[in-house]
Chain A
Amino acid sequence: MFTRRALMGAVAALSLLGGGHAAMAQDKMYVALISKGFQHQFWQAVKQGADKAGADLGVDVSFDGPDNETQVDKQMDMLAAALAKKPSAIGLAALDSQALIPQLKQAQAAKIPVIAFDSGVEGDIPVATASTDNLAASALAADKMAEFLGGEGKIAVVGHSQTSTTGIDRRDGFLNEIKEKYPKIEVIATEYGDGDQLKSTEITKAILAANPDIKGIFGTNEGSAIGVLNGVREMGAKIVVIGFDSGRAQKDAIRDGSMAGAITQNPVGIGYETVKAAVAAAKGEAVPKQIDTGFYWYDKSNIDDPKIAAVLYD
């Protein structure tokens, strides 16, 4: 009895919440953002930018995303739920564009414009894409790595995903640049830690154990980079670590010299531009197909530069 009553209570409370939101959505323009994650600092920074744009432009913005970057199915459900709320526009960072095609078609049929952000959405349904050029960003990481190594040595990559577009682009942007420009640098391992710090730590330690002569490792997102850093520290190795994104641990490591530097995107800008483009598209205004939100290299020398500090998050 106790459980049934509790369950009924919960259902009632949920339906109240849902009803409240739907009513709110009718008064104002409403933009639903579905991201690839929610808890990571990076996504929180995107959300911050989106919320700011929402306040500036006077629209309601919701932000949702699955727990980790493998939960394609959860993201499908979130998109379906967002569509059901009949938003003015949708912002989407697809985990897997192919899997989302049915819902994207549904959005198209309902004349709800879709703005892709971060990793983007394949196909011609999105009216615009607000993203970092990940290929170019990680090519810059490769150039910096080569600079630190003096153009030769063995290196490895600890990636965050073997299947998502950002994961693939950051890996390939880095690997291609090394292959084309630095023939004396050899990439001996490319592994994937799902952006999980502990997994990435163990991977790094295994790579270091297998290759004591390794000179540098590139971690392709925040969790990977911190994992690499932990692994290197625990093994007492002295190698060049290059990271991606920010977060407090990474910033501290760059300040104390244990990390050579990192590439940062502009997550706040990604969120802001996505909502701005979504509102414009919903009003029927023209939006540029590709909105480059930018990226920067930062290290000890420029980490406190106001332009850099503004896009870093803790």
Chain B
Amino acid sequence: MTDIGIERQEARRSGSAQQKLLAFASLIVLVAGFSLASPRFFQIDNILSILQATSVNGVLAVGVTMIIITGGIDLSIGTMMTFTAVMTGVVLTWGGMPLPLGILAAIGTGAACGLISGTLVAKARIPPFIATLGMMLVLKGLSLIVTGTKPIYFNGTEGYTLISQGSVIGRMLPAFPVPNGVLILFAVAGLVAWILGRTVLGRYTFALGSNEEAVRLSGVNTDRWKMAIYALAGGICGIAGLLISSRLNSAQPALGLGYELEAIAAVVIGGTSLSGGRGTILGTLIGALIMSVLTNGLRVLSVAPEWQTVVTGVIIIVAVYADQLRRRGSH
């Protein structure tokens, strides 16, 4: 990359630092506001509930952040999550195989599905929106076909619910039993943040989103990198599948539609640009936390359900508008 590219990258970094600050400030304001409004909000149990409610959406959001930074989108993550959970059920409950193979099945299925999406986008040149919309429907249908529309339960696999509901920390610090699902979210976020910030794959992720043509012309095999990114995001989707099925102790084949939009909303609130080239994992984490603080807080305050939806929508718009204002100001 040229000097201009590096300069741009620098500008991007300081810009996203500001955005993170903004998102983080909104999160603090929300938490403080809800805490003042209800003494029940800022209780250990409730905070842990919020963190756990963030785990599935957070993992999905972290995965799709990578794809969105390349300028793409993945609408299939919700139903892909379900499909990976179903395949885990097939391996563990139907196949009676040990837990590690089930985990491998979830991540492997996700990565394979992601690779298919990535191939459709990179090689077949189908726009990501359409390719993944198709995948969304295909995977939804496959989940129903494989299960015969019935949920698969994990009663035969001992300790399966511990993946998300157990607490390793709670054993050491009984006063603060952070569920394992939350640790998994942080671990996944840390891993992806490292990939984006420190590896070649990460550098190309940003480069593809900034100027794909320039990257291609400089002799890089962009198709291959793009496919790798979709596959990686798919694997992460498999982790979300493990988390949700562990929490429900079952693979629910009808679940999943709509989860993609919540994850994308978290990414956007976190300051990642839908046009690509800009975004951070920390921002996405904060975005996912804002979403779950908001839904939990409004419920604790007993706001009427129909108004909860309206408020959530308004917050998403305000968050993105604030980002727009800031960026316009910096030019």
Contacts and interface: CB of A to CB of B under 8 A. Distances in A.
B138 interface: no
A201 B255 CA distance: 14
Given A39-B253, A202-B295, A44 B149 contact: yes
B254 interface: yes
Contacts of B280: none
A226 B45 CA distance: 21
A202 B254 contact: no
Contacts, number: 89
A122 interface: no
Interface in B43-65: 43, 45-46, 49, 52-53, 56
A234 interface: yes
**Contact count band on B:** 35 or more
Q: How large is the interface on A (under 10, 10 to 19, 20 to 34, 35 or more residues)?
A: 35 or more
Interface string A33-61: 00000111100100000000000000000
Interface in B273-308: 292, 295-296, 299-302, 305-306
B248 A197 contact: yes
A67 B43 CA distance: 37
A234 B165 CA distance: 8
B81 to A, nearest CB: 11
Interface majority SS (helix, strand, loop, mixed), chain A:
helix
Nearest to A162: B305
Interface string A58-97: 0000000001100000000000000000000000000000
A252 B153 CA distance: 11
A188 B53 CA distance: 23
Interface string B140-169: 100010000111010100000000010000
Nearest to A227: B248
A44 B45 contact: no
Contacts of A197: 248, 252, 255
B254 A209 contact: no
Nearest to A247: B151
Interface in B104-156: 124, 126, 140, 144, 149-151, 153, 155
Given A67-B254, A209-B46, A202 B296 contact: yes
B170 to A, nearest CB: 12
Interface of B: 38, 40-41, 43, 45-46, 49, 52-53, 56, 124, 126, 140, 144, 149-151, 153, 155, 165, 244, 247-250, 252-255, 257, 292, 295-296, 299-302, 305-306
